Structure 1
């Protein structure tokens, strides 16, 4: 019994040391990546597209919630400047939940659930009650700075029923 307890203790300590090493290795980068994610939301809420795009690499591609695909930050900024004036000028982007996955020391995948308040269509329809989604960002560390290199924004259809919610766990 003592041998079994000793073995379990050693395994637990080894697992804890491994987890601590893994977390410590990327903790500064994970924090920097989360700051970019938060900075993007804050820039959106200020309706400041110059600040918003300071977090993007010039070659960053983007697919928006309705499938428009912009192949660089200049195209994305041009479109967002128009949309900010027409329908997003009173919006607030709220981050509900964020996950970061370090793919390499210089490459990170970020996903966050969001809700958008104050979204009004050009015809006056308030879209806030249907504005929830998932944003996926790919960030790369370039010259010591984390920048978005690709992103995709997906709306959540509240009528859709995810079968995983009924899955036995």
Structure 2
């Protein structure tokens, strides 16, 4: 009986420790998301290497695929010197799911606005919009770093037609 109680106590304790680690990991990932938003709002990506891996892949909202820290930092910076130079990004929500103890996926809903709309490459003026990003984080040397990301625009006109919203419960 003592062995059973000891085993149960160990399982509960290890579960609590694991939950505490996950809470710390989630906070660390959220801090990295905030660092990226800080870079966006300051239109300066000199700190890109502080929250990304060397091999980061980034797919932007129009399907450009930037490979590695150098390309992805450069491309973000170019666009922030031109069409995004006055945009503001606000985090609306973050949902984190751990794949392993050292790999996590974060889904971020964020809002982009521009006090001075600019002309986009397709000729349209920028409009306030929400985006959904899927970011892959890996823990390297005790630090969570973004290893891949993709950002899409949430199309409000398409949302009523999401089949999951009509799915039987």
Question: Could you state the TM-score of these two structures normalised by the residue count of structure 2?
Answer: 0.80
Cα distance in 1 for partners of 2:67, 2:148 equals 9
Of 68, 74, 83, 1:78 maps to: 74
Cα distance in 1 for partners of 2:63, 2:49 equals 20
- 1:47 CA displacement: 1.2
Cα distance in 1 for partners of 2:34, 2:88 equals 13
Of 31, 36, 46, 1:40 maps to: 36
Contiguous gaps of at least 5 residues in structure 2: 1-11
- 1:22 CA displacement: 4.8
- 1:24 CA displacement: 2.2
Look up the match of 1:156: 154
- Asked whether the 8 Å contact 1:61–1:69 carries over to 2, the reply is yes
Choose 86-95 or 20-29, whichever is displaced more: 20-29
Cα distance in 1 for partners of 2:72, 2:111 equals 21
Q: Secondary structure at the match of 2:22?
A: helix
Q: Deviations over 1:113-149 (max 9, x none)?
A: 11111162357843223x2211111111111111111
- Asked whether the 8 Å contact 2:48–2:69 carries over to 1, the reply is no
- 1:166 CA displacement: 3.0
Look up the match of 1:66: 62
Q: Secondary structure at the match of 2:119?
A: coil
Q: Secondary structure at the match of 1:50?
A: coil
Question: Could you state the TM-score of these two structures normalised by the residue count of structure 1?
Answer: 0.80
Aligned residues: 153
- 1:167 CA displacement: 3.1
Alpha carbon RMSD of aligned pairs, Å?
Answer: 2.2
- Asked whether the 8 Å contact 2:43–2:77 carries over to 1, the reply is no
Cα distance in 1 for partners of 2:140, 2:14 equals 28
Look up the match of 2:24: 28
Q: Secondary structure at the match of 1:27?
A: helix
